[in-house]
């Protein structure tokens, strides 16, 4: 055992669990690729200002949860706590919005970091798959992303995911709502930190999960009563498109999520089998974020889906994903001549697209066959000096136990035929 262990709130991803995580990532990414989203990868750390401006100085993410560091040159950097600001920064830096038609469609997958109290479904290091559509204000684009996420959950076999939907208005109608909400909140019995948040971003108070705060929020003014006609029409069109696509949703007037950059469409996917940490993904429109980080006006929409919580949701529903076999063929040599011959066969099989493994370490036939069974292989190829002298190898079906000789020259083609 090592002297060291993973830092508190983090985890190591190891087989066999890692196979499930890879399958989840692929299921989330597949609908995006079919919809024309290209893959983007950004650094694991960025300048602190990117997140303080974009995510919001009043958010818990920036004020309490960001991991920051000072470089030898004196620059302030932060481990990325979320993906949207980084992806938008990368797109602006590369002038993708000027290179061709809009929207620019991007997807990403990676690890993110927040200093939080570790608990089930909430880690200090977590994995997400995200998607962003940059440069176009269109309710069809909002609906597209929501539908792609819903389809990804469905493809995984999850039946307990619910969609919550809201509109946060825009720069035209939100100021009046902000003033009305501030007036209401100032009359509540709140702690000093929460009262300070009223002046910076009062919508964040609606996101407070504490029961004593939620009880006082009964009767708070709702954004739906302050939406301008353009925002009402926009939101209604999103709802119509989702309904037409067969995506069920629940209107949630208090849904604001934990980031300051959202405008208009805001949504969250939740799973009731996960307890307090029920969100398995979410996102929304962020039409002003580009300007917040020094870019041109670039209306955009996106989401991030939590891989870790999706895995927990699969377990809660008892869903087992069909995973590709780690090993299809296991080679068991008997003697040095057979080791060279079967090692060459394993290489040939791998190049033919089959998953093949080898009895390394010169173990005896009994131990090698145990290893073959543990590997999950469908077939074992066994050969000794006598077999090779006769130009054959023994092909054993590890499910039925049947064994038959196959010519050495024909074994690769036979295995490809049987395993496809």
138-186 pLDDT, tens digit per residue, is 999 999 999 999 999 999 999 999 999 999 999 899 888 889 988 999 9
How does pLDDT run across 194-223, given as a tens digit for each residue? 888 888 888 878 878 788 898 998 888 888
Does residue 259 register a pLDDT over 80?
no
**Binding site: what residues are annotated?**
82-84, 114, 128, 132, 257, 261-262
| pLDDT value, residue 57 | 67
Alpha-helix runs per DSSP H in 259-364: 289-292, 307-317, 336-351
258 pLDDT band (50/70/90 cuts)?
Answer: low
Does residue 71 register a pLDDT over 70?
yes
Cβ 188 vs Cβ 218: under 8 Å = no
Cβ 359 vs Cβ 329: under 8 Å = no
To 10 degrees, what angle do helices 174-185 and 192-200 make? 160
Three-class SS state of 302: strand
Mean pLDDT to the nearest integer, 25-52:
96
Pairing of strands 392-397, 403-407: antiparallel
Domains of the chain by start residue, with CATH: 17-173+227-317 (3.30.930.10), 329-419 (3.40.50.800)
Query: If you average pLDDT over every residue of the chain, what do you get?
Result: 92
| pLDDT value, residue 40 | 98
Mean pLDDT to the nearest integer, 328-336:
95
To 10 degrees, what angle do helices 411-419 and 336-351 make? 40
Q: State the Cα–Cα distance between residues 179 and 405, nearest whole angstrom.
A: 83
| pLDDT value, residue 210 | 87
117-131, 144-158, 308-322: range with lowest mean pLDDT:
117-131
> 380-397 b/e with 16+ CB inside 10 Å = b?
bbbbbeebbeeebbbbbe
Q: Which tokens go with 384?
A: 């000794």
Mean pLDDT to the nearest integer, 359-381:
92
| pLDDT value, residue 199 | 84
Cβ 211 vs Cβ 276: under 8 Å = no
Alpha-helix runs per DSSP H in 5-95: 17-34, 48-54, 60, 84-93
Q: State the Cα–Cα distance between residues 213 and 377, nearest whole angstrom.
A: 56
47 pLDDT band (50/70/90 cuts)?
Answer: very high
| Contacting residues for 228 by C-beta, under 8 A, at least 6 apart | 169, 170, 172, 173
Mean pLDDT to the nearest integer, 373-400:
95
Report the alpha-carbon angle 75-76-77, nearest 5.
110
| pLDDT value, residue 136 | 96
**Binding site for L-histidine: what residues are annotated?**
82-84, 114, 128, 132, 257, 261-262
260 pLDDT band (50/70/90 cuts)?
Answer: low
Length of the chain: 420
Mean pLDDT to the nearest integer, 306-323:
95
CA neighbor of 303 nearest in space, from 44, 29, 11: 29
């Amino acid at each position: 055992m090592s002297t060291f262990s993973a830092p508190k709130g983090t985890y190591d991803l190891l087989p066999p669990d890692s196979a499930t995580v890879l399958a989840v990532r692929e299921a989330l990414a597949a609908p995006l690729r079919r919809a024309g989203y290209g893959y983007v990868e950004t650094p694991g750390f960025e300048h602190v200002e990117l997140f303080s401006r974009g995510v919001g100085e009043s958010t818990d993410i920036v004020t309490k949860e960001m991991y920051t560091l000072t470089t030898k040159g004196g620059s302030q950097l932060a481990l990325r706590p979320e993906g949207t600001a980084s992806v938008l920064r990368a797109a602006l830096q590369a002038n993708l919005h000027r290179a061709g038609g809009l929207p620019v469609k991007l997807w990403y997958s990676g690890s993110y970091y927040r200093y939080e109290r570790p608990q089930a479904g909430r880690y200090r290091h977590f994995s997400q798959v995200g998607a962003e559509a940059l440069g176009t204000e269109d309710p069809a684009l909002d609906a597209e992303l929501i539908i792609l996420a819903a389809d990804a959950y469905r493809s995984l076999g999850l039946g307990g995911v619910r969609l919550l939907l809201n509109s946060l208005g825009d720069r035209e109608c939100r100021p009046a709502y902000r003033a009305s909400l501030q007036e209401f909140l100032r009359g509540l019995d709140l702690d000093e930190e929460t009262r300070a948040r009223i002046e910076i971003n009062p919508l964040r108070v609606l996101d407070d999960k504490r029961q004593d705060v939620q009880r006082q929020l009964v009767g708070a003014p709702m954004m739906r009563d302050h939406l301008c006609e353009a925002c009402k029409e926009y939101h209604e069109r999103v709802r119509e498109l989702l309904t037409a696509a067969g995506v069920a949703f629940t209107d949630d007037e208090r849904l604001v999520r934990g980031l300051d950059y959202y405008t208009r469409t805001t949504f969250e996917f939740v799973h009731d089998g996960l307890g307090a940490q029920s969100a398995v993904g979410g996102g929304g429109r962020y039409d002003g974020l580009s300007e917040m980080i020094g870019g041109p006006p670039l209306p955009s929409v996106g989401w991030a889906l939590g891989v870790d919580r999706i895995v927990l949701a699969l377990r809660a529903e008892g869903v087992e994903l069909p995973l590709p076999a780690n090993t299809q063929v296991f080679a068991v040599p008997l003697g040095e001549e057979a080791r060279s011959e079967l090692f060459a066969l394993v290489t040939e099989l791998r190049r033919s697209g089959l998953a093949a493994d080898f009895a390394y370490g010169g173990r005896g036939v009994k131990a090698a066959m145990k290893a073959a069974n543990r590997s999950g292989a469908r077939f074992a190829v066994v050969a000794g000096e006598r077999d090779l002298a006769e130009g054959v190898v023994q092909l054993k079906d590890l499910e039925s136990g049947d064994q038959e000789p196959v010519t050495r020259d024909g074994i690769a083609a036979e295995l490809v035929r049987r395993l496809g």
